[in-house]
A and B are shown apart, each in its own frame.
Chain A
Amino acid sequence: MTVIQKKPDNPIAHLTAEDIELLGKQLDAIRQSVIDTRGEDDARYIRTVIDVHRKLELGSRAVLLASGFPPAWVLGTIGLSVAKILENMEIGHNILHGQWDWMRDPKIHSTTWEWDMASPAEQWKHSHNQLHHTYTNVLGKDNDLGYGIMRVDEDQKWVPAYLLQPLWSFVNACFFEYGIAAYDLELGKVVATGQTKDPEFRRRAKEVLGKIGRQVRKDYVIHPLLSGPNFVPTLAANFVANVVRNLWSNSVILCGHFPEGVETFEKKSIDGETKGEWYVRQMLGSANISGSKAMHIMTGNLSHQIEHHLFPDLPSNRYAEIAPQVKALFDEYGLNYHSAPLHKQVYSAWHKIFRLSLPNGWLDNTTPKNLPSQLVKLWKMSTGSKATRRRLLKAEMAAA
Chain B
Amino acid sequence: MTVTQPSPSSTRPRLSALRDRVFKLAELATTPLLPSDYLDLVDPLRSGAALRGRIEAVEHETRDAATIVIRPGRDWQPHVPGQYVRIGIDVDGVRQWRAYSITSVLGRADGCFTITVKAIPDGKVSNHLVHRTEPGTIVQLDQATGEFVLPQQTPDKALFVTAGSGITPVMGILRNLADDDLTDVVLIHSAPTADDVIFGAELRELAAAGRIRLVEQHTDTDGMLDAASIAALVPDLAERSTWACGPLPMLEALEQYWDDAGVADRLYTERFRPAIVAGDGEGGTVTFTANGTTLEADGSTPILDAAEDAGVLMPSGCRMGICFGCVLPLREGAVRDLRTGEVTTAAPGDGVLVQTCVSAAAGACAIDH
Contacts and interface: CB of A to CB of B under 8 A. Distances in A.
A58 B28 contact: no
A16 to B, nearest CB: 31
Nearest to B37: A54
Contacts of B33: 54, 114
Nearest to A50: B37
A106 B311 contact: no
Contact of B29 (A55, A103, A218): A218
A39 B124 CA distance: 13
A388 B308 CA distance: 64
Given A54-B38, A115-B32, A116-B32, A39 B313 contact: no
Given A104-B313, A116-B32, A222-B28, A40 B92 contact: yes
Contacts of A55: 41
A214 interface: yes
A20 to B, nearest CB: 26
Interface in B292-326: 308, 311-313
B354 to A, nearest CB: 21
B28 A217 contact: yes
Given A109-B313, A111-B313, A103 B94 contact: yes
A103 B28 contact: no
Contacts of A40: 90, 92-93
A98 interface: yes
B28 A104 contact: no
A216 to B, nearest CB: 11
Contact of B90 (A43, A98, A114): A43
B29 A114 contact: no
Given A58-B38, A112-B313, A43 B93 contact: yes
Nearest to A107: B37
A115 B37 CA distance: 13
B29 A39 contact: no
Interface string B36-72: 0110010000000000000000000000000000000
Interface in A345-368: none
Nearest to A113: B32
Contacts of B41: 51, 54-55
A38 B93 CA distance: 8
A39 B311 contact: no
Contact of A222 (B29, B37, B92, B312): B29
A218 B311 contact: no
Given A39-B93, A51-B41, A102 B311 contact: yes
A26 B29 CA distance: 48
Contacts of B308: 104
A42 interface: yes
Contacts of B38: 54, 58
Contacts of A226: 29
Interface centre among B30, B90, B93, B313 (most CB of A within 10 A): B93
Contact of A105 (B92, B95, B291): B95
B174 to A, nearest CB: 36
Contacts of B28: 214, 217-218, 222
Interface in B304-360: 308, 311-313
Contacts of B291: 111
A239 B234 CA distance: 80
B31 A215 contact: yes
Contact of A103 (B32, B90, B312): B90
Contacts of B312: 101
B49 to A, nearest CB: 12
A389 interface: no
Interface in A34-86: 38-44, 51, 54-55, 58
B31 A218 contact: yes
B316 to A, nearest CB: 10
A51 B138 CA distance: 15
A223 interface: yes
A43 B311 CA distance: 14
A106 B37 CA distance: 13
A100 B33 CA distance: 18
Contacts of A104: 94-96, 308, 311, 313
Interface of B: 28-33, 37-38, 41, 90, 92-96, 291, 308, 311-313
Question: Would you list the 3 A-B pairs with minimal beta carbon distance, nearest first?
Answer: A43-B93, A101-B311, A114-B32
21 contacts: A39-B92, A42-B93, A43-B90, A54-B33, A101-B311, A101-B312, A102-B94, A104-B95, A104-B96, A104-B308, A104-B313, A105-B90, A105-B95, A114-B32, A115-B32, A116-B32, A214-B31, A215-B31, A215-B32, A218-B28, A222-B29
Given A40-B90, A54-B41, A211-B32, 9 more contacts: A39-B92, A42-B93, A43-B93, A101-B311, A103-B90, A104-B96, A112-B313, A116-B32, A214-B28
